[in-house]
Amino acid sequence: MQPPAFARRASQLSPTLPAPAPPENIAFDSGHAFPGVLPDLTAEAATALAQYRAETLQYAPRMGLPALRAWIADYMTADGARVSADNILVTNGAKHALELVCRLLLDEGDGVVMTSPTYFSAIPIIRSFGVSFIEVGQDRAGLDVDQLAAILDRRRKDGKSQPKFIYDVPDFHNPTGVTMSAERRAVLLDVAAAHGVAVVEDSPYRKVRFEGASVPSLKALDERDVVLQLGTFSKLMAPGLRVGWVAAAPPLVARMAQLKSDAGSCPLTQRTILEFCANGRLAQHVARIQDRYRANRDRMVAAVRRELPDVSFVVPHGGYYLWLTFPDGVNADELAACANQIGVTVISGSRFFARADVAHPRNQVRVAFSHADEDEIDEGVRRLAAAYAAVANGSAATALR
Ligand SMILES: Cc1ncc(COP(=O)(O)O)c(C=O)c1O
């Protein structure tokens, strides 16, 4: 039978998913949690099923469990944001929250601002709405707000419509690890408000900080209600839970709730999370993950300095990733393919750029230090160095055979 006529958003997609990495590979590719710090939720899940059966095995309220929305609002308030439960919509993770923001704001042909590079999973979600991407650079202080202002001013002068939103990861950016400075955050909000553009703040790593004082979140600085903040329990507790939220003005979250096709997110998982958080276990757990990921970061930084002295990178103060820049001329796609063959899975930097029609650096790779243990980190970086040597001396094709 002929395949059905696909919608535009599906017609460009590959008919097959990429082959999974060999399971025996050391995984530097994914944002998986370190297995040893996954929380034991047995008691909380048992309570959720036994004491709250009538709630947890029924459909949930569309906006999320009221008690969880209130807990999230308190959590955000403690982080400086002025929100109440009315601002919170519970979702199936931050990516789902992003999709709902897109469903709320985007029509085909709209523009969206992304940093260059940006979180690679956000790109296909936003792209599927038929938008055009506007890329803005970043440096060690985060998104280049002068460049952003110049682009938006130019569009205003040319009578062009403004982009619908600016998407950024201001804390421990994925993939670069950069945290936006407080000054930049203030300017970003001024520029966005002046041009009537919303800001989508995706900040899953905010609490995964290893050192230094935290910078106020964009939502905490948001006096004009331009920010929609995406939150998630994926990095706070465990990615498999698939619970997150979006925090925004009540008329926005009420509309997103109506666009949510599952009606309400899973109440059993929401109640299990609430039992964990409301009983005070989260703070201790966060301290544990900070210690684990700090140790992993330190181990990977030392290994890269030792094994890959030609490579430059900024040491992140939190998050899960190092963004490695190899010498000019190194093709990261080839390097990643070779590394994958040699037994370490990394992601080529080319996947982190939203626009396919402009040139980007081709010599960057993202490596995650979150999932591997310390010995695997040493061995994985040794394998990456072997792949680099093979690519640099032209023998990668032999290694790939
Ligand atoms: C910037 C960013 N946003 C969102 C997510 C995923 O969030 P969730 O698991 O809640 O969908 C990740 C995970 O790697 C991420 O790095």
The H or E element spanning position 113 is: strand 111-115
The predicted model gives 149-161 an average pLDDT of 97
Residue 358 token pair: 């402009």
Whole-angstrom Cα distance, residue 118 to residue 133?
A: 11
- What is the Å distance from ligand 1's center to 236 Cα? 11
pLDDT at 398: 57
Q: Is 177 in the pocket of ligand 1 (CB under 6 A)?
A: no
The predicted model gives 252-258 an average pLDDT of 98
Instruction: Give the model confidence (pLDDT) of 165-202 as tens digits.
Output: 999 999 999 999 999 999 999 999 999 999 999 999 99
Q: Is 234 in the pocket of ligand 1 (CB under 6 A)?
A: yes
Identify the CATH number of the domain defined by range 19-38+283-400. 3.90.1150.10
Instruction: Give the model confidence (pLDDT) of 335-353 as tens digits.
Output: 999 999 999 999 999 999 9
Instruction: Output b/e per residue, 165-201; b: 16+ Cβ within 10 A.
Output: bbbbbbbbbbbbbbbbeeebbebbbebbbebebbbbb
Q: Is 241 in the pocket of ligand 1 (CB under 6 A)?
A: no
pTM for this prediction: 0.96
pLDDT at 3: 79
Question: What value does the mean pLDDT of the chain take?
Answer: 96
Q: Is 95 in the pocket of ligand 1 (CB under 6 A)?
A: yes
Helix, coil or strand: residue 23: coil
The predicted model gives 195-212 an average pLDDT of 97
Q: Is 206 in the pocket of ligand 1 (CB under 6 A)?
A: no
Candidate of 29, 167, 174 to mutate for ligand 1, largest count of ligand atoms within 8 Å of Cβ: 174
Closest residue by Cα to residue 110 from 190, 166, 191: 166
pLDDT at 117: 97
The predicted model gives 274-282 an average pLDDT of 95
Q: Is residue 399 very low, low, confident or very high in pLDDT (cuts 50, 70, 90)?
A: low
Q: Is residue 396 very low, low, confident or very high in pLDDT (cuts 50, 70, 90)?
A: low
Q: Is 93 in the pocket of ligand 1 (CB under 6 A)?
A: yes
Name the one residue in this structure whose structure tokens are 């929380």.
39
Which atom of ligand 1 lies closest to the CA of 169?
1
pLDDT at 30: 85
Does residue 224 carry a pLDDT above 70?
yes
Identify any residues that bridge with 226 across adjacent strands, giving them in sequence order: none
CB 155 within 8 A of CB 162: yes
Does residue 1 carry a pLDDT above 60?
yes
Top CATH class, 42-281: alpha beta
The predicted model gives 120-148 an average pLDDT of 97
- What is the Å distance from ligand 1's center to 207 Cα? 14
CB 350 within 8 A of CB 332: yes
pLDDT at 400: 52
Q: What percent of the chain has pLDDT over 70?
A: 98
pLDDT at 397: 55
The predicted model gives 313-320 an average pLDDT of 97
Q: Is 125 in the pocket of ligand 1 (CB under 6 A)?
A: no
Domain ranges of the chain: 19-38+283-400, 42-281
pLDDT at 394: 81
- What is the Å distance from ligand 1's center to 373 Cα? 21
Does residue 4 carry a pLDDT above 60?
yes
Instruction: Give the model confidence (pLDDT) of 12-46 as tens digits.
Output: 888 899 888 899 999 999 889 999 999 999 999 99
Candidate of 98, 121, 143 to mutate for ligand 1, largest count of ligand atoms within 8 Å of Cβ: 121
- What is the Å distance from ligand 1's center to 378 Cα? 26
Candidate of 95, 176, 228 to mutate for ligand 1, largest count of ligand atoms within 8 Å of Cβ: 95
- DSSP-assigned letters across all residues of 182-228: HHHHHHHHHHHHHHT-EEEEE-TTTT-B-SSPPPPPTTTT-TTS-EE
pLDDT at 12: 84
The predicted model gives 143-158 an average pLDDT of 98
Q: Is residue 305 very low, low, confident or very high in pLDDT (cuts 50, 70, 90)?
A: very high
Q: Is 97 in the pocket of ligand 1 (CB under 6 A)?
A: no
pLDDT at 401: 45
The H or E element spanning position 130 is: none
Which atom of ligand 1 lies closest to the CA of 96?
11
The predicted model gives 124-147 an average pLDDT of 97
Q: Is 94 in the pocket of ligand 1 (CB under 6 A)?
A: yes
- What is the Å distance from ligand 1's center to 169 Cα? 10
Which atom of ligand 1 lies closest to the CA of 94?
10
